[in-house]
Amino acid sequence: MRNKTVFVKEEIQEFKQQLLAWSQQFDDVVWLDSNHHKQQYSSYDAVLAVDAFTAIQTDYVGAFEKLEEYQKSTKDWLFGYLTYDLKNTTEELQSNNYDGLAFPDLYFFQPKKLFLIQGNTVETLYLHAVEEDLENDLKAIERLNSNTLFETVDKIYIQQRIPESAYYEKLKILLAHIHRGDIYEANFCQEFYAENTTIHPLDTYRKLNAISKPPFATFLKLGDKFLLSATPERYLKKEGCKIISQPIKGTAKRASDPNKDEALKQALASDDKERSENIMIVDLVRNDLSHTATKGSVKVEELCKIYSFEQVHQMISTVVSEVDPATSPVSILQTTFPMGSMTGVPKISALEIIENLEETKRGLYSGAVGYITPSGDFDFNVVIRSILYNESKHYVSYSVGGAITAKSTPQKEYEECLVKAKAMREVLEN
């Protein structure tokens, strides 16, 4: 039984910062922030879930079946993540690449304390709590100085897992697969990392979020493991019987001059290569959604629409479907995972080829973070534009990738990776 309290905070930005600072005392934290992007399918401006009452942690073997059992038994709010390597259970594949981060393949928890923020209104849902618990927490939250900054202890030296010359060679192999007809498109990713490094996770997240201000920002803590994400992409949302997917394919840099910026935006909108990438993934998403959709309900609401963010312009499509009310929420996730924008077409062939060419286990990168409600609704992002940190191993990592098609040139793809990596590198190297 959750105790519900609703109150208004006039200084909501200050309260949000204090709330996030207060959350750091807990081992299990998920913070989701829309940065006031008023998108059509937004439910909350920000959400905080902390302090696990129960939890599930597992490797990929039978992961979705275990999650479904957990979701049905709790019938409560669940927060957590799906790593990209759950592909090994959905498609009977393997991941043998290097993993410096060692995140569990799947993790969800039932929070004791939940804050839902919309405008200046804060709704709290405390599990098995008495009134004094919230009163004491609010006093502790309001005492915090949210402006305290923590300087990174170490000088950070970013390394590339795949050197530039090797990247070009790998793309030649990938393009050969495409020209041969094995695949039409594949999302190829590379890792940038630093070893023997200490960062302050909350401060690093704040700096990254300030630069990017994305609609699906995430701070996640699981003991000694952290995700600091400035992702602009939604993976999948369930709202009643409606399912919404919003894949991103197509990226252009921003310019400080408004006229140049508008020209870059228009160039992206009319770029045949970027549009073809996006449309291929839209077709893949339509196919994925059809596994659980009611007949004739899969529709494309937006095709190749340009959205502008602090760092980049993005080409985004919106694909929707309807499901039967009895359809399990976990089965909808399972039949669409991993998301099309981070895989390729055809999906299984692309998964196999990129696994052989990439040199890092993706883990939580290109996975998803989000929540499932007691009624079975859910909302999950795509983990891109993100810094991952294992505090115990002193290992920091961020990965970037891009869609490779027959029209791709290795040098342009490499340059696009650097554009996507810019905010993470700036934050880590100051």
Query: What distance in Å separates the CA atoms of residue 426 and residue 207, rounded to the nearest whole number?
Result: 9
Confidence of residue 1 (pLDDT cuts 50, 70, 90): confident
**Residue 85 structure tokens:** 């390597």
pLDDT value at residue 128: 86
Asked, as a colleague might, if the bond just before 338 is cis with ω within 30 of 0, I would say yes
Number of domains, the chain: 1
Query: What distance in Å separates the CA atoms of residue 245 and residue 339, rounded to the nearest whole number?
Result: 9
Q: Per DSSP, which regions of 139-206 are E strands?
A: 159-160, 185-194
Look at residue 421 and tell me whether its pLDDT is greater than 80. Answer: yes
Query: What distance in Å separates the CA atoms of residue 147 and residue 17, rounded to the nearest whole number?
Result: 8
> What's the pLDDT tens digit per position in 109-131?
999 999 999 999 999 999 987 77
Q: Work out the percent of the chain whose per-residue pLDDT is above 70.
A: 98
Query: What distance in Å separates the CA atoms of residue 395 and residue 401, rounded to the nearest whole number?
Result: 20
Look at residue 38 and tell me whether its pLDDT is greater than 80. Answer: no
User: 298 is in which domain, residue-wise?
Assistant: 2-143+153-429
CATH of the domain at 306: 3.60.120.10
Confidence of residue 74 (pLDDT cuts 50, 70, 90): very high
pLDDT value at residue 149: 54
Nearest CA among 208, 103, 111 for reference residue 152: 208
pLDDT value at residue 150: 58
> What's the pLDDT tens digit per position in 279-315?
999 999 999 999 999 999 999 999 999 999 988 899 9
Look at residue 213 and tell me whether its pLDDT is greater than 90. Answer: yes
User: Which pTM does this prediction carry?
Assistant: 0.96
Nearest CA among 103, 66, 65, 64 for reference residue 86: 64
Q: Is residue 42 part of a domain?
A: yes
The torsion angles phi and psi of 366, rounded to 5 degrees, stand at 65, 20
**Residue 140 structure tokens:** 């502790």
Which residues are known catalytic residues? Answer: 233, 249
Instruction: Determine which helix (DSSP H) or strand (DSSP E) holds 380, and give its type and residue range.
Output: strand 378-381
Instruction: Determine which helix (DSSP H) or strand (DSSP E) holds 103, and give its type and residue range.
Output: none
pLDDT value at residue 148: 62
> What's the pLDDT tens digit per position in 325-353?
999 999 999 999 999 999 999 999 999 99
Q: Is residue 128 part of a domain?
A: yes
Q: How far is CA 283 from CA 279, 288, 298, 299, in A?
A: 6, 9, 11, 10
Residues 374, 20, 314: CA angle, nearest 5 degrees: 80
Nearest CA among 399, 400, 396 for reference residue 416: 400
Measured distance between the N- and C-terminal CA atoms of the chain, rounded to whole angstroms? 46
Query: What distance in Å separates the CA atoms of residue 424 and residue 430, rounded to the nearest whole number?
Result: 10
> What's the pLDDT tens digit per position in 134-185?
999 999 999 997 666 555 567 899 999 999 999 999 999 999 999 999 999 9
Query: What distance in Å separates the CA atoms of residue 71 and residue 56, rounded to the nearest whole number?
Result: 10
pLDDT value at residue 153: 60
Query: What distance in Å separates the CA atoms of residue 117 and residue 388, rounded to the nearest whole number?
Result: 26
Look at residue 89 and tell me whether its pLDDT is greater than 80. Answer: yes
Query: What distance in Å separates the CA atoms of residue 401 and residue 115, rounded to the nearest whole number?
Result: 34
Query: What distance in Å separates the CA atoms of residue 385 and residue 401, rounded to the nearest whole number?
Result: 10
Q: Is residue 94 part of a domain?
A: yes
Q: Is residue 244 part of a domain?
A: yes
Asked, as a colleague might, if the bond just before 247 is cis with ω within 30 of 0, I would say no
User: Could you tell me if 53 and 110 are in contact, meaning their C-beta atoms sit under 8 angstroms apart?
Assistant: yes
Q: Is residue 148 part of a domain?
A: no
Q: Work out the percent of the chain whose per-residue pLDDT is above 90.
A: 90
